[in-house]
Amino acid sequence: MKEQNAGYIRHRMGLAWEMSPGATFSAFHAFLEAGKLAGLRCTRCRKVYLPPRPVCGDCYMPLSEWFEVSDRGSVEGFTVSHHPILDPVTGSARPTPYASLLVRLDGASTSINHYLRGADPRTAAIGMRVRAVWREPRRTLMDLLGFEPTGGGEDAAFPRPLEAPDLKPAARVQVNLDIPFAYAVGRGGRWFCDGLRSGRILASRCGACAKTLVPCRSFCPSCFRRFAESDLREVGPGGAVAAAAGAPSPPLGLIRLDGADTLFVHHVRARRGVRVTALFKPTEERRGDPLDIEAFVPVEASA
């Protein structure tokens, strides 16, 4: 991830989803509240799937037989991670080191990946017996805090059949994603952004198709010709609003800038047809991005 260097435009993804757990996870959550870890068993191949899911992928059979699996199991695989990643749930880096386990719960045909808890990460080993550690009350798998070492062998009592749950409409689960991105403006973008810093709007003149394209760019999209710095042309800052739209959000316009053959997109404070000019931010506030232009305003207002 690129940090605060010039030549990048940053956007923060602050998005939220209201995701449906659906019938399968709603039932799983209902069982969990009753203290049971529940999977779905395929009537044909008899695999017990955890997490539960609508269909057995091998048999293409819809799954409907609920079985309880144990909250104890065996470690099938593990790692001790020293590599912090930005957690997509929290948006911050995970502390290291930590041990990640792949655990086969007694009675399940699939495994679950989670953390080792209550033990030195270096003690993780294949075949180690572990038990789920919960935060009460148990509502979703977010309340599973990890697995701690435990004694004993495999519990043959699992899987054991469960009554099909009485399904109630499940509430949606909010899922957020709040992480930063930084996009390199590149060769063409750098010309353009440097131009904005000096209060100029730059376009590229294509010698082959005889068009002046704004914003300037590093190649012609029509004839694929590579543009050089010598192809740069200053256009505007005056022009006419060809279309204006968007209110109640900040109105956007398509602006026919003087000297350009294509339209420029930006904020406008004028209606369609009005002569406008670029209102630049004061030099010291410019950062070399499109928002260095505050908006296009009527020529009279700018005077």
Partner 1 sequence: MTVHVAGIGRTRYGRDERSIPEMVYEAVTAALADAGVTRDEIDSIVTASIDLFDGKVASSVLITEVVGAVMKEEARVADDGAAAFVHASAMLLSGRKETVLVVAHAKNSEADADALTAWSTDPIHMQSLGLNDLTAAALQADAWLAQGGDPDAMDAVAARRLGVAPAEVASSPVIAEPLREKHRAPLVDGACALVLTCDVRRATCDVGVSGMGLCVEPHYLGDRDLIGCPAAQKAAEQAYRMAGWRPEDVQLVEISAQFAHQEILWTRALRFAEDDGRRSVDGGAINPSGGWFAGNPYVVAGLERIACAAEAIRTGTARRVLAHGCWGPAGQGHAVVLLEGGR
Partner 2 sequence: MRRVAIVATGQTDHAKERGDVSQPELIYEAVSRCIEDAELEPRDIDAVVLANMELFEGRMLPDLWCAEAATALFKPCLKIATGGTSGTSGAIAGFYEVASGIFETVLVVGWEKHSEGHTQTGMAMTDPMWDRHVAGGALNNFAISISQFMRTRHASPEAAARIAVKARRNAALNPHAHLKMPGLTVEQVMESRVLAEPVRLLDMCPQSDGACALVWAAEGKAERICPRPAWLQATATRHDKPYLGDHGDRLSTMRTLRSAAAEVYEELEIREPLKEFDVAEIYEPVSYAELAWYEALGFCGEGEASRLAEDGVTELDGELPVNPSGGVLSTNPVGASGVIRAAEAALQIHGRGGKRQVPDVRRALVTGYGVYSWSDVMVLGAEKP
CB 17, CB 175: distance < 8 Å: yes
Question: Does residue 184 interact with partner 2 by CB under 8 A?
Answer: yes
Pick from 61, 177, 209, 245 the residue near partner 2 by CB under 8 A.
177
Pick from 59, 179, 295, 299 the residue near partner 2 by CB under 8 A.
179
Question: Does residue 290 interact with partner 1 by CB under 8 A?
Answer: yes
Please name the residues in contact with 57: beta carbons below 8 A apart, sequence gap of 6 or more.
none
Stretch that binds partner 2, among 37-45, 105-113, 204-212, 293-301 (CB under 8 A): 105-113
Question: Does residue 209 interact with partner 1 by CB under 8 A?
Answer: no
CA gap 45, 278 in Å, rounded: 69
| Number of Cβ atoms within 10 Å of the Cβ of 272 | 13
Query: Which is nearer to partner 1, 28 or 158 (by Cβ)?
Result: 28
Side chain identity at 246, as an amino acid letter? G
Q: Quote the tokens at residue 186.
A: 């590149």
Q: Find the binding residues for partner 2 in span 134-153 (CB under 8 A).
A: 140-142
Side chain identity at 191, as an amino acid letter? W
Stretch that binds partner 1, among 76-84, 91-99, 226-234, 256-264 (CB under 8 A): 256-264
CA gap 123, 164 in Å, rounded: 39
Query: Which is nearer to partner 1, 9 or 102 (by Cβ)?
Result: 9
Q: Whole-number minimum distance, CB 276 to partner 2, in Å?
A: 27
Question: Does residue 86 interact with partner 1 by CB under 8 A?
Answer: no
Q: For the chain, what's the residue count?
A: 303
Please name the residues in contact with 259: beta carbons below 8 A apart, sequence gap of 6 or more.
203, 212, 233, 234, 235, 236
CB 87, CB 94: distance < 8 Å: yes
DSSP string, 208-227: TTTEEESS--SB-TTT-PBP
Interface contacts to partner 1, rule CB under 8 A: 9, 11, 13, 15-25, 53-58, 60, 62, 169-170, 172, 175, 177, 181, 183, 185-186, 189, 192, 213-215, 221, 242-255, 262-267, 272-273, 289-291
Interface contacts to partner 2, rule CB under 8 A: 1-2, 5, 7-8, 11, 13, 19, 21, 25, 28, 49-51, 53, 57, 76-83, 85-89, 100-102, 104, 110-115, 126, 140-142, 173, 175, 177, 179, 181-189, 218-219, 221-224, 226
